[in-house]
Amino acid sequence: DGGVLVKHGGGVAFIPQTESERAERVQSFTVRINKVKSASTIVGCVELAKLDKERREITIKALGEGGAESIVLAAKPGHLLWTDDCRLGGFARTEHGVKSAWTQVVLQWAAMHGYISEQKFFESSARLIGFGYSFTSPSVPVLIAAAEIADWDQSHWPFSQAINQLGTESIQLREAASLTVSFLERVYRENILDERRRAITLALMDKLGDRSGGPSIVQEIKKAVPIAFGLNALGAAAAVSTIAAWLNSRTIRPIG
């Protein structure tokens, strides 16, 4: 009698789990934890006790004892705070002058120095977006990696989350539009079904179009596609046709 709770849409779902599935899950977590431990050193933090009492209590109350210790240790010369907690990172920088980095930046550094492949960096970034790391920056290679993981199905993880991110305010609208045009050029060169290309294109237009100024930017995308696609005239024509159909389906249409 057991299972796991997982995020599902805007709520939480309970998934029943057998004893063997539970054992496999525990084993998987154990392997991951041991891998982290093998590459880590756990140190004490007497420095926390040296902080001004009021400042120490505020830090612990805000971020917990573990978070407070991490901040104080990262404040030492030659140290860096690695965290994907925006609140913790922001507090560390403003209140303690700590330098910090998040997982995508660390992975990018690892790829630049040859510790992981560039493709692994793109795939990992795509997965981070899929897991809800909204501050992970997308790029054309990251979108391609997300699409490949999802077998170019715009409704599957992590491709769906990557497309959704283009519809958020975390990316400036024009930057999202430029990224979309470049990505579409790749979509219409891939060996995938026309129906799938159309679905991807419509999903992208839906996300951009729902933003303030979205319909107008979709018009600009439509005009930019033939230039961006270069010699791929057939692909450009198919993309423009799909975008035009999207624009025609909107109740309020931009002039131009």
To the nearest whole percent, how much of the chain has pLDDT over 70? 97
Q: Which one is predicted more confidently, 252 or 143?
A: 143
* 104 in Cβ contact with 128 (< 8 Å): yes
- Alpha carbon distance 9, 123 (integer Å): 23
Mean pLDDT over the full length of the chain: 93
The residues pairing with 194 across neighbouring beta strands, listed in sequence order, are none
Q: Which of 99, 195, 200 is nearest to 148 (CA)?
A: 200
- Please compute the mean of the pLDDT values over residues 187-213 and round it to a whole number: 97
- Please compute the mean of the pLDDT values over residues 29-45 and round it to a whole number: 93
pLDDT at residue 251 is higher than 90: no
The pLDDT confidence band at residue 135, using thresholds 50, 70 and 90, is confident
Antiparallel, parallel or unpaired: β 100-101 and 3-8: unpaired
* 89 in Cβ contact with 102 (< 8 Å): yes
pLDDT at residue 190 is higher than 90: yes
Cα dihedral 75→43→39→113 (10° resolution)? 20
Query: Which segment of 64-68, 200-204, 250-254 scores lowest on mean pLDDT?
Result: 250-254
* 98 in Cβ contact with 81 (< 8 Å): yes
pLDDT at 255: 52
pLDDT at residue 9 is higher than 80: no
* 242 in Cβ contact with 202 (< 8 Å): yes
Quick check: helix, strand or coil at residue 6? strand
- Alpha carbon distance 132, 139 (integer Å): 16
- Please compute the mean of the pLDDT values over residues 91-95 and round it to a whole number: 93
- Please compute the mean of the pLDDT values over residues 160-165 and round it to a whole number: 96
* 151 in Cβ contact with 159 (< 8 Å): no
- Alpha carbon distance 157, 238 (integer Å): 26
